[in-house]
Amino acid sequence: MPFQPTTTTPFKDKLSVAPMMAWTDKHCRYFHRLITKNTLLYTEMVNAGAVIYGGTARHLDFNAEEHPVALQLGGNEPEKLAQATKFAEEWGYDEVNLNCGCPSPRVQKGAFGAALMAEPNLVADCVKAMLDVVKDANKTPITVKHRIGLDKSEDTPQSYAFVRDFIGAVADVGCQTFIVHARNAWLDGLSPKENRDIPPLRYEVVHRLKQDFPHLNIVINGGITTNEQIAQQLQQLDGVMLGREAYHNPWLMATWDAQFYGANVPSESTRESIEEQMVQYMEREKAAHGTPWPAIARHMLGLRHGLRGARHWRQVWSNQNLRDLPSSEVMKMAHAVSFESDVLAPAASLA
């Protein structure tokens, strides 16, 4: 079934790649942008205080090619979030997002992330302060990413009222876009990794939120791994965010511009051409900043996901013993070993 927008004005950022700590740095985003031109890319979460006091350029610099790109902030102090937002707008970010979904103990200790869902009025104050400092909220929207609930309160009338009232309070101050991870955050007893898998997915809650707030942009996140699932969700919602699947199987995104944005995709865009462009990027980063190529190559290890010889190709690109070689030479070695494994080994052994 072809994509049908949920409103008369389609949501421009209907697809996005989630903010992921230690993963979605500027090198990762540059790689993803080579594959998809339209998908919104998110930074890792950055503490608002770190933006202000910890070296603004270090935390905010990004490649111009990354647009559209969103900065995700963590924090619970309206004044600091406002100041960090102002810096982000000046730096040229296309969106600033407030994290109200991270369940990690470190974030909880700072009383932000998912813990903020228990304080919707504080979140509203934070968002209002952020909105007040941007020159144009249409050009630099302030958005919120959150869970559908806290702890083991799933599937009760009270649990839905909790997330409904949270969105209502924050929307009242002018927030128009909510990215909803369709799981509760269990703040006790689960690690961040377990929080991504164990709390049950409840897509129906996100669908109900869209029904109750038809004027808002509601984006769903959590457990979505295929284009078919994306298309299904876009029949009821304004956007879909993918995280781990986009990172580990990035070539999935190669179809998004054409399928979901109606954009023309150059026929010369292949996995090999993307790899070559990444090597050129590695060389530029090495010359400009002294960045070793393994710090960049780690993000593209899923590029050949599902192809024969992929494991051998990954082994070369992840071999730290080769770090002193030029990245162009490493690419030649990776191609040679993957070609040899294609020829000599059965497909079943080349996962």
**Who's near 181: CB < 8 A, 6+ residues apart?**
101, 145, 146, 147, 148, 221, 222
Give the distance, in angstroms, between the CA of residue 297 and the centroid of all CA atoms in the same chain. 19
Q: Which of 28, 100, 102, 126 is catalytic?
A: 102
Active site residue 102: yes
Residues 251 and 33 sit within 8 Å (Cβ to Cβ) = no
The residue written with tokens 């806290």 in the block is 150
3-state secondary structure of 220: strand
3-state secondary structure labels for all residues of 221-233: ECCCCCHHHHHHH
The residue written with tokens 């409103």 in the block is 7
Torsion-angle region of 43 (φ positive above 0: left; ψ -120 to 50: alpha; else: beta):
beta
In terms of C-beta density within 10 A (0-12 exposed, 13-18 middle, 19 or more buried), how is residue 106 classed?
exposed
The residue written with tokens 């409904």 in the block is 164
Residues 301 and 295 sit within 8 Å (Cβ to Cβ) = no
Pull the structure tokens for residue 47: 């503490």
Residues 179 and 213 sit within 8 Å (Cβ to Cβ) = no
Say how far apart CA 156 and CA 161 lie, in whole Å: 9
Q: Tell me, what DSSP letter sits at residue 188?
A: S
Q: What is the DSSP code string of 144-162?
A: EEEEEEESS-TTSHHHHHH
Residue numbers annotated as active site: 102
